[in-house]
Chains A and B, each alone.
Chain A
Amino acid sequence: MSALLSVDNLHVQFATYGGIVQAVRGISFSVNAGETLAIVGESGCGKSVTMQAVMGLIPMPPGKITAGTAHLRGEPFLGRSHLNGKAICGDEIGMIFQDPMSSLNPTMRIGDQIAETLEVHRGYSRSEAFARAIELLELVRIPEAAKRARQYPFEFSGGMLQRAMIAMAVACKPSVLIADEPTTALDVTIQAQILDLLKDIQRETGMAIILITHDLAVVARMADKVAVMYAGQVVEYANVDDLFAKSSHPYTLGLKLAMPSKESDETHTLQPIPGSPPDLFSPPKGCAYCARCPFAMQVCQREDPPAFTIASDHRSRCWLQHPQQSRPVSGLYRRTDEVTA
């Protein structure tokens, strides 16, 4: 079984005046057709950079992919702009961004912007492409699509713009859609509409979605698989149920306890994660989460933990998951839990 898109051991760094920033430090994940992978993490953890690297959108220099591979249907494509005659960016992989207001061209009509994709990648004529753009606007449920296609971005609300962005991203029927914080700027009611729309399109076309977000509630609603990122690494990788029910990394646990839930309402305490993420100019020698981790041990400062296998398709980069580690930790799921239970 080979995954639709897989990324292995990706490293990305940026040269800046302050030194070299190691933004992504060895990331691996894979996603199958029709599946949604969520990538969760705080700002600055490298989640957007990972996706930009996959899309070939990293400006080089200052950026540099120092190691790693990415495969689409088993074929390597990192560093290439085309695969089997199809462009990676926009044709094989579509992308939608966080801020639709600033990602669209304010001087072009919405319909023309969608049509442009089809003209470039599919060689449609202008009028063919524009007609198809109207159909796409209908697909994303924009009322009066023919009229709306002739309007400019400033005439659209934030939710409508995000729909137009989705129309543009799915215009060439990509096999993978990368959604970078697609609903962060939107109200909950509009967020629910956009998330439902993405699910519906996925059901119809069978595309894979990679959803980048910082909101665990959105993850719970959308994802099949989840990669939790911290300081340029995937610290926990699991299917969505295991991630919530069997959280195996202290950072995942910390994120869960920092959000209001039905339990925290009763105890009336949120448990924030103290401190802030490490400086990626000089990443710590040991575990990057060590300084903020309530369960940190001596080994955590000395050595970076490898990814321990908790179950098939469930990995955690934490020394507490070492088979010889038996220190009890409340709330954290351990592989040994099942053996003793």
Chain B
Amino acid sequence: MSALVKLDQLTKHFDLGRGQRVHAVDGISLEIQRGETLGLVGESGSGKSSLGKTLMGLHDKTSGSVIYDGEELPKHYRAADFQRMASRMQMIFQDPYSSLNPRMTVGEIISEGLRGKPLSKAQKQKTVGEWLEKVGLNAAHASRYPHEFSGGQRQRIGIARALIMSPEFVVCDEPISALDVSVQAQVVNLLNDLKTSMGLTMLFIAHDLSMVRYISDRMAVMYLGALVELGNAKDVYFQPRHPYTEVLIASNPEPDPVTERERASTTIQGEIPSPVNVPAGCRFAGRCPKVMQVCREQTPALLPLVDEDRLVACHLYSQ
């Protein structure tokens, strides 16, 4: 397997003025292998979506680089860059209500990406029809408007819009969190089927840990702009190593009353701090149940564990 996407110290800060900066993404390095699904989890405010958007070029990079298939992507995207990359990487957005233009028909929304392609109108219409069928809608729906569809159907429209470009790489930013349970499974299965048939590589951003465990090959855990743990999805879920991952998974309820009754209420106190002017040392030190003196002084690096296919950024393992 070779890496399709490689992030090297990718950083995105938002300047608030008066010397205040939001450290949304802070020096993240990781590789996404061709054909894999990498799940990215963390609390809201941990920088998951910012990472996805910076990777896509929707945000300018503050520093660091994204290497896509051997080519370094520009720091600041121009219109031509978006056009060039559009057929290679695409994004599916969280909110199926606000991410579709209410004044465009579904056909116009889905075919918009094909605008620059040398295709006749009839060919485009045919492709749109095919894609509507592929995502489980009807070719006749092309002339309708987004408000005529339910949340799950709109998310399918968003998927068709992204995948009609036949990209190699897709960033899914919380694609199912606005949907009902029964519909979530429909959309996840659709994504999985399309991934197999098109050979997609996916970055799947979500806060639903059970769903990420199910859909991903590897799982990355983010806290306050930095990666704290990365490894095989099921291993990370069932044998978490970083104290933050442990807390996150201990808080995630399972649909089984017997397990839940045995669960100790070891919930974490406090909330994720503001990502403005992040202090020195480990970012999790203030909430960590296993905090040590060194954690408040030195920032732990993301290092591989011995005998395990796992990267963890924690001083507990840095001997």
Q: Which residues of A contact B188 (CB under 8 A)?
A: 270
Q: Which residues of chain A have C-beta atoms less than 8 A from B260's C-beta?
A: 217, 220-221
B181 touches A255 (CB 8 A): yes
Flag whether A138 is at the interface (Cβ < 8 A). Answer: no
Residues of B within 8 A of A (CB-CB), count: 40
B182 CB contact (under 8 Å) in A188, A217, A220, A258: A258
Main secondary structure of the interface of A (DSSP, over half): helix
Stretch at the interface among A86-94, A98-106, A259-267: A259-267
What's the Cα separation between A259 and B207 when bound, in Å? 15
Q: Is the CB of A258 within 8 A of B181?
A: yes
When the two chains form the complex, which single residue of B185, B214, B248, B256 contacts A189, counting CB atoms closer than 8 Å? B248
Contact status of A42 and B182, CB under 8 A, knowing A188-B209, A189-B247, A272-B189? yes
The reply to whether B214 and A260 form a contact with Cβ atoms under 8 Å apart is: yes
Query: Does B254 interact with chain A (Cβ within 8 Å)?
Result: yes
B241-259 interface (Cβ within 8 A of A): 247-248, 250-259
User: A217 — which chain B residues lie within 8 A by C-beta?
Assistant: 210, 252-255, 260
A248 → chain B closest CB, angstroms = 16
Give the contacts of B239-283 with A (CB-CB under 8 A).
247-248, 250-260, 263, 265, 267-269, 271-272
* Contact code string A183-215 (vs B, CB < 8 Å = 1, else 0): 000011111110110000000000000000011
Per the bound structure, the CA–CA distance linking A268 and B214 in Å amounts to 7
Contact (Cβ within 8 A) B182 A254: yes
Q: In the complex, how many angstroms separate the beta carbon of A251 from the nearest chain B beta carbon?
A: 9
Q: Is the CB of A244 within 8 A of B256?
A: yes
Cα–Cα, bound, A244→B180 (Å)? 19
> Which listed residue (A159, A261, A269, A272) contacts B183, Cβ 8 A?
A272
Chain A, 131-161, CB within 8 A of any chain B CB:
157, 159-160
B152 sits at the interface (CB 8 A): yes
A309 to B: closest C-beta gap in Å: 22
Among B191-240, those with CB < 8 Å from A are 207, 209-211, 213-214, 234
Question: In the complex, are the beta carbons of A273 and B257 less than 8 A apart?
Answer: no
Q: How many residues of A contact B (CB 8 A)?
A: 43
Looking at the assembled complex, report how far the CB atom of A281 sits from the nearest CB atom of chain B, in whole angstroms.
Answer: 15
Closest chain-B Cβ to A117's Cβ sits at a distance in Å of: 25
B186 within 8 A of A: yes
Total A-B pairs, Cβ < 8 A: 118
For the complex, is B143 an interface residue (Cβ under 8 Å from A)? Answer: no
Residues in A with CB closer than 8 Å to B150 are: 276
Q: Are A265 and B213 in contact (CB under 8 A)?
A: yes
Q: Is the CB–CB distance between B257 and A244 below 8 Å?
A: yes
- A256-B44 contact given A189-B268, A220-B260, A265-B214, CB 8 Å threshold: no
Contact of A187 among B44, B181, B210, B265 (CB under 8 A): B44
CA distance A189 to B247 in the complex (A): 8
- Chain A positions within 8 Å of B256 at CB level: 220, 244, 261
Which of A223, A274, A276: most chain B CB closer than 10 A? A276
Q: Which residues of A contact B43 (CB under 8 A)?
A: 187-190
Nearest-Cβ distance from residue B262 to partner chain A, whole angstroms:
11
The residues of B that contact A274 with a CB separation of less than 8 Å are: 186
Contact mask for chain B residues 95-113; partner A; CB cutoff 8 A; 1 contact, 0 none: 0000000000000000000
Are A240 and B181 interface neighbours, CB within 8 A? no
B residues within 8 A CB of A192? 250-251, 253, 265, 267-268
Question: Does A115 touch B at the CB level, under 8 Å?
Answer: no
Minimum CB–CB distance from A330 to chain B (whole Å) comes to 19
Known: A187-B43, A215-B181, A255-B182. A270 touches B271 (CB 8 A): no
Option from B181, B247, B272 in Cβ contact (under 8 Å) with A216: B181
| 19 A-B pairs with C-beta separation under 8 A | A43-B180, A157-B271, A187-B272, A188-B248, A195-B253, A214-B181, A220-B257, A220-B260, A244-B256, A258-B181, A261-B256, A265-B234, A269-B189, A270-B185, A272-B184, A273-B185, A273-B186, A276-B150, A276-B152
